[in-house]
């Protein structure tokens, strides 16, 4: 006989058990904390690097649009005026800047004409030229022109470039920075929110200050449109058939296993497939959102099918029996009862699939969406066949360029991508809430 045990003192076995439980909780908490820490680190890094992309430095000075120089023929015909390239505009802007600085009495110690030019972005003459060609009547007038500052000057006002780094930088001298500071003090330079980052097309490697996401956002949007229009109906129809109507035999088993396998196929394989079939065999154009959308549809289908089947499978069988018992046909019981109850799950699956597709890069590289595209695509449906870029590919593209200003742009593009993803998930949650309240 063992002595009677007191309930007030835990025995050795209980103590061991409690200790194991406490340890397990500690592991779990630690895992969660590590995860949150990694997320915070990631977000602060991206925000720290990318926030600058949403602010841009502009120089505003009065410029006289010299008619003799910009329209040598004097007939205001844009076709003939186009003969004057940006090289005709650049000296004019530099002169205007020099004159304005002299009038304002800003000291220009150690600044040559070439240094002065470099303060203004190379994009500025191009933008001025486009403005003049669009409206030849501006010639001869003196306008307050707002021009992009050069990439290094922009970096100086965002703290990326300092007088110390300028010493070691072949592209900018400390004297230029001192001048830029003097111009800012005189009210000629200001830094403000950069809408152009969201609306401009990409720009060349020498003009990071002009590069924007406009074409990439449109391209991604077009692709998501294609994916939604194709993957949702096909995926949901396939899932309903497989889950509700298909006989359970060896063939459907094989199909089922292969759908699960497809979900795990590396995305670049889908890119090769797209290249081989949609471009080489069908002959669709390269770099086009229609091809990207088709490839991403193939990738998204398994996700949607699996999510829809899981959602349908979770509808209680008693609801189906009730409908069948009332004399509803199989299709009525599915469409009147099972599908509405499964809708929140289908919706979540679809949006998760879309979000995956939105962030996918590898297959797009293979179908030529990595190209440098400055032309905006037309409106759909024709626009689906025009070359575009895509958000994740734009990030990939910019991280490969040498100018450090592109690091900032790439991080900014990542922020835009994240904002899109978060809002998609938010929409999923909101829609799901609404559906669940109604049912």
Partner 1 sequence: MNMMQDAKAAAMENALKISARGVDVFYGDTHAIKGVDVEIADKMVTAFIGPSGCGKSTFLRCLNRMNDTIDICRVTGQIQLDGEDIYEARVDPVQLRAKVGMVFQKPNPFPKSIYDNVAYGPRIHGLARDKAELDGIVEKSLRRAALWEEAKDRLNEPGTGLSGGQQQRLCIARAIATGPEVLLMDEPCSALDPIATAQVEQLIDELSSRFCVVIVTHSMAQASRVSQKTAFFHLGELVEFDDTDRIFTNPSDQRTESYITGRIG
Q: Give me the least distance between CB of 256 and partner 1, in Å please.
A: 16
Name the residue nearer to partner 1 (CB basis): 320 or 401: 320
Residue 131, CA distances (Å) to 59, 127, 134, 204, 419 in order: 17, 6, 5, 20, 33
User: Residue 305 Cβ, how far from partner 1 at the closest point, in Å?
Assistant: 21
314 or 378, CB closer to partner 1? 314
Q: How far is the CB of 312 from partner 1 (least distance, A)?
A: 15
CB 183 within 8 A of CB 106: yes
Residue 331 C-beta: closest distance to partner 1, Å:
10
321 class by beta-carbon count within 10 Å (0-12 exposed, 13-18 middle, 19+ buried): exposed
Cβ neighbours, 10 Å, residue 228 = 18
Question: Nearest distance from residue 339's CB to partner 1, in Å?
Answer: 13
Rounded to a whole number of angstroms, the minimum distance from the CB of residue 340 to partner 1 is: 9
- CA 353 to CA 241: how far, in whole Å? 20
C-alpha–C-alpha distance, residues 190 and 379, integer Å:
35
Judged by the rule CB under 8 A, the positions of this chain that interact with partner 1 are 247-248, 316, 318-329, 332, 336-337, 341, 439
Which of 347, 357, 358, 349 has its CA nearest to residue 420? Answer: 358
Q: What are the Cα distances from residue 329, in Å, to 54, 181, 325?
A: 57, 78, 10
Q: Crossing angle for the helix pair 250-263 and 289-313, nearest 10 degrees?
A: 120
State in angstroms the smallest separation of the CB of 336 from partner 1.
8
Nearer to partner 1, 45 or 252 (CB): 252
Q: For residues 203 and 210, give the distance between their C-alpha atoms in angstroms, rounded to a whole number.
A: 6
Beta carbon nearer to partner 1, 180 or 341: 341
Which position has the token pair 């949007």?
A: 221
- The token pair at 305 is 């099918």
Half-sphere exposure of 217 (CA within 13 A, CB side): 20
- DSSP tally for the chain: helices H, then strands E: 20, 3
Looking at the Cβ atoms of 162 and 332, the one nearer to partner 1 is 332
Q: Quote the tokens at residue 419.
A: 């904002």
User: Whole-number minimum distance, CB 242 to partner 1, in Å?
Assistant: 14
Rounded to the nearest 10°, the torsion over CA 320, 326, 332, 338 is: -20
Cα separation, 337 vs 316, whole angstroms: 10
Nearest CB to partner 1, comparing residues 19 and 314: 314
CB of 318 to partner 1, least distance (A): 4
Nearer of residues 309 and 409 to partner 1, judged by Cβ: 309
Nearest CB to partner 1, comparing residues 192 and 330:
330
Of 28 and 325, CB closest to partner 1: 325
Residue 187 or 327 with smaller CB distance to partner 1: 327
Extract the tokens encoding 377: 């695509």
Q: Is 145 helix (H, G, I), strand (E, B) or coil?
A: strand
In the sheet with 55-64, reading across from the earlier edge strand, the strands are 142-148, 55-64, 189-193
Q: If 0-12 CB within 10 Å is exposed, 13-18 middle and 19+ buried, where does residue 170 land?
A: exposed
Select from 408, 406, 400, 416 the least CA-distant residue to 365: 400
* Minimum distance, C-beta of residue 347 to partner 1, in the bound complex (Å): 17
Three-state DSSP class for 36? helix
Residue 314 CB, nearest approach to partner 1 (Å): 13
4/326 with CB nearer partner 1: 326
């Amino acid at each position: 006989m063992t002595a009677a045990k007191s309930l007030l003192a835990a025995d050795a076995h209980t103590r061991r058990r409690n200790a194991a439980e406490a340890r397990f909780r500690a592991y779990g908490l630690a895992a969660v904390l590590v995860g949150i820490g990694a997320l915070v680190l990631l977000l602060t890094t991206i925000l720290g690097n990318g926030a600058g992309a949403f602010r841009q430095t502009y120089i505003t000075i009065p410029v006289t649009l010299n008619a003799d120089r910009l329209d040598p023929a004097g007939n205001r015909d844009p076709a003939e005026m186009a003969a004057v390239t940006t090289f005709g505009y650049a000296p004019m802007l530099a002169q205007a800047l020099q004159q304005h600085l002299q009038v304002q009495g800003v000291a220009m110690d150690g600044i040559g004409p070439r240094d002065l030019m470099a303060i203004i972005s190379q994009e500025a003459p191009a933008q001025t030229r486009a403005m003049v060609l669009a409206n030849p009547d501006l010639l001869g007038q003196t306008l307050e022109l707002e021009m992009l500052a050069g990439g290094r000057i922009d970096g100086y006002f965002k703290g990326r470039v300092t007088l110390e780094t300028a010493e070691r930088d072949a592209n900018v001298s400390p004297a230029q920075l001192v001048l830029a500071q003097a111009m800012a003090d005189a009210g000629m330079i200001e830094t403000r929110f950069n809408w152009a980052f969201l609306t401009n097309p990409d720009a060349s490697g020498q003009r990071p200050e002009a590069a924007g996401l406009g074409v990439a956002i449109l391209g991604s949007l077009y692709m998501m449109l294609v994916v939604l229009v194709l993957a949702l109906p096909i995926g949901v129809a396939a899932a309903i058939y497989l889950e509700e109507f298909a006989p359970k035999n060896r063939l459907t088993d094989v199909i089922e296993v292969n759908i699960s396998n497809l979900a795990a196929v590396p995305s670049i394989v889908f890119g090769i497939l797209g290249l081989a079939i949609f471009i080489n065999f069908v002959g669709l154009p390269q770099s086009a959102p229609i091809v990207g959308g088709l490839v991403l549809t193939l990738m998204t289908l398994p996700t949607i099918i699996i999510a829809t089947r899981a959602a349908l499978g979770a509808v209680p069988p008693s609801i189906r029996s009730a409908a069948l018992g009332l004399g509803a046909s199989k299709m009525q019981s599915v469409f009147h009862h099972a599908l509405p109850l499964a809708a929140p799950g289908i919706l979540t699956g679809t949006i998760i699939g879309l979000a995956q597709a939105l962030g996918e890069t590898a297959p797009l590289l293979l179908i030529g969406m990595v190209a440098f595209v400055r032309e905006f695509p037309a409106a759909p449906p024709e626009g689906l066949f025009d070359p575009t870029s895509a958000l994740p590919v734009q990030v990939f593209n910019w991280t490969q360029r040498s100018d450090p200003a592109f690091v900032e742009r790439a991080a900014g593009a990542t922020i835009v991508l994240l904002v899109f993803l978060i809002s998609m998930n938010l929409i999923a949650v909101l829609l799901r809430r609404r559906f669940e309240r109604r049912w």
